[in-house]
Structure 1
């Protein structure tokens, strides 16, 4: 969750800065950054979670000693 939060905050900051550089009002820039955070955070969290589940070895794939 930390990695997803960190990356989502970085992406939201970049979006906010780019929006601000395009002569938007500070309110528009802040709203764009917050909207990006709300959309990207769950997407990254789910993506990282599913990736970890796929990479974790399951009990069925382990060779048995018997």
Structure 2
């Protein structure tokens, strides 16, 4: 998935991204979170802005209720 810098990625964007990683790599949510963090944020929570990082964290929190 390509990330456009024209706006702040939504919670649903990050949820979709992590689910895509889980499905294509057959991995756990925690692994998908790490891969997404590395790919999108390049291990810098401020790279895409504070709101984007909060949305990323919220997406992970919501997915944890489905994939504990």
Shorter-chain TM-score range:
0.3 to 0.5
Structure with higher RCO (Cα < 8 A, 6+ apart)? 2
TM-score (norm 2): 0.36
Greater helix share, 1 or 2?
Answer: 1
TM-score (norm 1): 0.37
Larger radius of gyration: 1
